[in-house]
Amino acid sequence: MSDEPKDVLMKDLFTKKYSYFFVNKHQKDPCLYLVNNLTGRACLFDLGEIHSLSGRNLLKVDTVFISHTHMDHFIGFDDLLRINIPSFKLKTLVGPKGIADQVYHRIASYSWNLLEKDQVQFLVKEITSNEVKTFLLSNTTGFIPQPVNASKDISSGLSYPVLSLDNQDEIYAVILDHGIDSIGYLYKTASKFKVDTSKLESLGASQGKWIGELISKVESAQFEDYINVELKDGTYSRMKVETLYHRILEVIPPRSFGYITDFYFSESNLKKLKSLFYGVDLLFSESTFMDEDYKKARLKKHLTTRQAALIGSALKVDKMNIFHFSRSYPDEKMVETEFNQFFDRFKTLDSSRLDHLIQEELQRIKE
């Protein structure tokens, strides 16, 4: 039986292929759990306290995306580490500059004399302003970060993924300003393909295993290959993958969501957000303070409900899911209600009116 809180429910993300939930209430530590229901593999966005996450679900996690390493975003690392000691499975962590050393020091605070070779390993990727560095931390080498390969030059911008998953989903990133680097992540699903049944009919072909082979070859760009197509009369016709791709397949466009937290409302951060998250299908965004506390939000380098709504509207986001509320409010519903009022109003405005409100807000927080 799962030991997650009874009021935590998995929600479908785009399709039933993906499900997600926030591990904690929105006034507690951030941690977004995303699972691929087809593969059973999961990832976390931030790693706050995770005591309520069941061991079964935690063992599914193979990748963790850390925005920054303030305690409320990274305190759960030891729980992830401990449950995976017997598994011999490589875990991947992605985060800001310096996270490899931070992971090393967390692990090095324990004694590890009884482990087998390479029993505990982490692949750590550090995102800086001009490159992504990759390190391997293994108990065999005392968990000292070992550079894995040449760093990835991103000085011209993050126009390609910082990580590609086995299922061809991709993760992009941008560095936001929280007084320290705070990484915002864009998760983009792979393009998928399905058969147009009417075109299959005109081809005179039958449904069969060959369709799965065709889609597999298309997804791996093997367009010059040939496959045997099963026809309705029971015979087979050898056809080129490229020909079949154009004749019977439809492309299902990729979907995307953004995860952004712990940054303040500024022109610089807004510019970075627009460069990566414009038009995302869903945006998970912090909304830490209510509007009346805008001065406190600026001091703590967080967003207000108004500012989160302005950002979502500027990014042309249809759906937003806010989290990471201040514990100073007696009820998190207060924050959600105020945000929804702002977002419902702002997202209907034309760009010139919205830009005017953004400039007003930028001026207000300077005063």
State the residue range of the domain holding 351: 264-364
Which pLDDT belongs to residue 7? 42
Report the greatest alpha carbon distance in the chain: 78
Would you say residue 121 has pLDDT above 60? yes
Residues 128 and 228 in one domain: no
Residue 58, domain member (yes or no): yes
Q: Are residues 139 and 85 in the same domain?
A: yes
Structure confidence at residue 2 (pLDDT): 42
Strands 192-195 vs 226-230: parallel, antiparallel or unpaired: unpaired
Residues 19 and 152 in one domain: yes
Which pLDDT value is given to residue 335?
Answer: 98
Burial code (b: 16+ CB inside 10 Å, e: under 16) for 62-80 equals: bbbbbbbbbebbbbbbebb
Same domain, 97 and 233: no
Whether the per-residue pLDDT at 99 is higher than 50: the answer is: yes
**Is 258 part of any domain?**
no
Q: How confident is the model at residue 55 (pLDDT cuts 50, 70, 90)?
A: very high
Give 158-210 pLDDT, tens digit per residue.
Answer: 556 889 888 789 999 999 999 999 999 999 998 888 899 999 999 999 999 99
Same domain for 218 and 311?
no
User: Could you tell me which residues come within 8 angstroms of residue 198 by beta carbon, excluding any fewer than 6 positions away?
Assistant: none
User: Please, are residues 305 and 290 in contact by the beta-carbon 8 Å criterion?
Assistant: yes
Last residue of a domain, one of 222, 252, 282: 252
Q: Report if residue 257 sits inside a domain.
A: no
Q: Which of 188, 219, 236 is the last residue of a domain?
A: 188
Residues in the chain: 367
Listed residue (26, 27, 60) closest to 44, CA to CA: 60
Residue 183 domain flag:
yes
- What sections of 51-169 are H helices per DSSP? 55-59, 71-74, 77-83, 99-108
**241 and 281 assigned to the same domain:** no
Cα gap 288→28, rounded to integer Å: 11
Residue 151: the pLDDT is 63
- In angstroms, the CA 9 to CA 2 distance is 11
127 and 233 both lie in a single domain: no
Rg (CA), the chain: 23
Q: How confident is the model at residue 5 (pLDDT cuts 50, 70, 90)?
A: very low
Q: What is the pLDDT of residues 56-69, one digit of tens each?
A: 999 999 999 999 99
Q: Which of 318, 319, 317, 293 is nearest to 305 (CA)?
A: 293
Residue 130 lies in a domain: yes
Domain membership of residue 278 (yes or no) is: yes
pLDDT > 90? residue 322: yes
- Please check whether residue 59 lies inside any domain of the structure: yes
pLDDT band at 13 (very low <50, low <70, confident <90, very high): confident
* Contact residues for 353 (Cβ-Cβ < 8 A; gap 6+): none
**Which pLDDT belongs to residue 154?**
58
The residue among 188, 207, 231 that closes a domain is 188
Residues 140 and 210 in one domain: no
- What is the number of domains present in the chain? 3
Cβ contacts of 359 within 8 Å, gap of 6 or more: none
Supply the CATH number for residue 287's domain.
3.60.15.10
Question: What is the rounded CA–CA span in Å between residue 351 and residue 122?
Answer: 45
Query: Quick one: DSSP state of residue 348?
Result: T
Average pLDDT of the residues in 335-343: 98
202 and 179 in one domain? Answer: no
Helices and strands, counts by H and E, the chain: 12, 20
Residues 47 and 132 in one domain: yes
Determine, yes or no, domain membership for 4.
no
Report yes or no: 282 and 13 within 8 Å, Cβ to Cβ: yes
140-154, 174-188, 287-301, 333-347: least confident range: 140-154
In this structure, are 165 and 16 located in the same domain? Answer: yes
In the predicted model, what is the mean pLDDT of residues 27-46? Answer: 96
Do 166 and 290 lie in one domain? The reply is no
Residue 4 has pLDDT above 60, yes or no: no
Q: What is the pLDDT of residue 17?
A: 87
CA-closest candidate to residue 162, choices 194, 118, 131:
131
Q: What are the tens digits of pLDDT across the range 133-159?
A: 999 999 999 999 999 976 666 555 555
- Percent of the chain past pLDDT 90, that is, above it, reads 84
Concatenating the DSSP letter of every residue in 208-272 gives SHHHHHHHHHHHTT-TT-EEEEEBTTS-EEEEEHHHHHHHHEEEE---EEEEE-S----HHHHHH
Mean pLDDT of the chain: 93
pLDDT in tens, 216-275: 899 888 999 999 999 999 999 999 999 999 999 998 889 999 999 999 999 999 999 999
- 221: number of Cβ within 10 Å: 8
